[in-house]
Structure 1
Amino acid sequence: MSSTSTAPSAPRVLVTGAARGLGAALAAAWEERGAVVLRTDRDDAAVGQGVHRLDVTSEADWSAVRDHVESTWGGLDVLVNNAGVAGGGRLDVATIAEWQRLVEINLLGAVRGTATFTPLLKRQRSGRIVNVASLAGLVHPAGMAAYNATKAAVVALTETTGHELAGYGVTAHVVCPSYFRTGLMDGAEGTDTALTGVVTQLVENARLGPDEIASAVLAGLDAGDELILPDPDARAAYGLKRSDRAGYDRTMRAQAAKLAALTHHEETR
């Protein structure tokens, strides 16, 4: 990547958590459109192999990446806060330490990225902030309180960002996919191993992969959507909640009862 400070004509995109999964797919999708992309990740094995070091929990790393972007490109067109981890667990099983880990990465990682680049975006009076949340930020299944809460907070952060920066020509967009095939569960940690097994199966058996989700994300951005539901399952679940709250509650509580039975079976085998 060039060290010149001349801004390229191609869109300038920064993607966090881009070593694999949806982050890598989003980076590739933008590159296919001719964008210049800074892939970032905390994975030491990926750093130096086309990936720039960025641990989203480190303010020093964020400052270093901002300095790199300014000296290399002179500005930024799209910030994609994608990095996140899986986790959660039933209310009486998950620990406070597990909650804190999810808050630190899933929520405060996006907060740090937004806060770091907002001054630059305001100065140039243009740009997009894209936060990857989850359908769990809109639809809240049992057994996932910590994950649901952090992703719902990312939805709220995005809406607030859009309101606050609209006067500067900056837009904010939140992506809320349902389960799709990804390596997210590889890094899942937590004491509720029964729940982890259930969610892992849902991810592994999902119909769509990261490339299909990435394509739908870019299509949503092309359309100017502030809330991007990139798959049919996400649109159906959120649609049910909005149109039939009583039916949604019945469905979610039936799933909660099923989860209780499954996890009880796993724990007593």
Structure 2
Amino acid sequence: MQIKRVFITGGASGLGYALAQEAAARGWKVCIGDRDTERGEAVLESLQRLQSDAFFMPCDVTRISDLEAVAKELQSRWSGVDIVVNNAGVAQVGPITETSISDWQWIIDINLLGVVRGCKVFTPIMQEQGQGYFLNVASLAGLLDMPNASSYNATKAAVVSLSETLHNELKPNNIGVTVLCPSFFKTNLAQGMRSSVPDMDKKVDKWMASSKLNAADVAKMAWQAVDAGKLHALPHREGRTAWYMKRFLPRSLYQAIVHKKAQSRTK
């Protein structure tokens, strides 16, 4: 198996770290970027036990200069990069009437523009190499439309659209794209979540804990989708079912199902 050179944003915890572990277990070279320097340095040793070339770089995806610094370092160490995982993200929950413009700006800057910056910085490198791959982490929320999550849904839907666009745009450059759209699974997303809904962090933790898949499962399925060159990767079976229902059922029937599901989750 060819050794890949992989860079992962938000790679110090949660899904990003699980993706890094799985990549390192495959024998691939891994660089994790994260704004949590302490956490990044703490987990590095475990990655290096799997792949000695693994390293960490401080990286805040809201600063394009950070991503440019990573790109420069990867060029110096590895002479390029094969796969860039735009994983860093945050959550915001609340009705449209209670979601401030500053919260919209915050989540757009990280969830959408963070992915845009990653693609913009690394596409020229991949074009010069004649090959490359983007794994963009969105969410099932980017394909569905659960109430009281307009800002989160919108940013993840934009990541889906961006990924689909680049899948077409970059094909002549031999650059592939997969957009990962998981449902709830145990991760640390709720830790930095902003919400105007009381006890939402506890509710999210409960939904995540009930998932049949954990971060390691999702990471393995994500890399399998990359191996297969799939554009859309939906790890959760119930997520795939919900997406099909949205696409093929009459809107009124789909909407009734969504509201029934939303009401059951508030209990």
The answer to whether the superposition gives a TM-score over 0.5 is yes
Q: Does the CA contact (< 8 Å) of 1:88 and 1:98 recur in 2? A: no
How far apart, in 2, do the equivalents of 1:92 and 1:194 lie?
18
2:125 matched residue in structure 1 = 120
Q: How many residues align?
A: 253
2:261 matched residue in structure 1 = 255
Q: Does the CA contact (< 8 Å) of 1:142 and 1:255 recur in 2? A: no
**Unmatched tracts of structure 1, length 5 or more:** 1-8, 263-269
**2:258 corresponds to which letter in structure 1?**
M
**1:21 corresponds to which letter in structure 2?**
G
**Unmatched tracts of structure 2, length 5 or more:** 45-55
Residue among 39, 45, 57 paired with 2:62: 57
CA offset at residue 198 of structure 1? 3.1
**1:168 corresponds to which letter in structure 2?**
N
**2:158 corresponds to which letter in structure 1?**
A
2:231 matched residue in structure 1 = 226
**1:250 corresponds to which letter in structure 2?**
A
Alignment of 1:1-269 (within 5 A): 10-49=3-42, 50=44, 51-246=56-251, 247-256=253-262
How far apart, in 2, do the equivalents of 1:258 and 1:26 lie?
32
Q: Does the CA contact (< 8 Å) of 2:92 and 2:152 recur in 1? A: yes
How far apart, in 2, do the equivalents of 1:150 and 1:224 lie?
24
**2:28 corresponds to which letter in structure 1?**
A
Q: Does the CA contact (< 8 Å) of 1:22 and 1:210 recur in 2? A: yes
Q: Does the CA contact (< 8 Å) of 2:178 and 2:225 recur in 1? A: no
CA offset at residue 164 of structure 1? 1.2
Q: Aligned with 1:112: secondary structure?
A: helix
Q: Does the CA contact (< 8 Å) of 2:24 and 2:30 recur in 1? A: yes
Q: Aligned with 1:142: secondary structure?
A: coil
Q: Does the CA contact (< 8 Å) of 1:88 and 1:99 recur in 2? A: no
* Identity level (%): 38
How far apart, in 2, do the equivalents of 1:199 and 1:149 lie?
19
RMSD: 1.6
Q: Does the CA contact (< 8 Å) of 2:32 and 2:40 recur in 1? A: no
Q: Does the CA contact (< 8 Å) of 1:180 and 1:203 recur in 2? A: yes
How far apart, in 2, do the equivalents of 1:256 and 1:187 lie?
22
Q: Does the CA contact (< 8 Å) of 2:142 and 2:155 recur in 1? A: yes
Q: Aligned with 1:131: secondary structure?
A: strand
Deviates more, 1:47-56 or 1:37-46: 47-56
How far apart, in 2, do the equivalents of 1:37 and 1:124 lie?
18
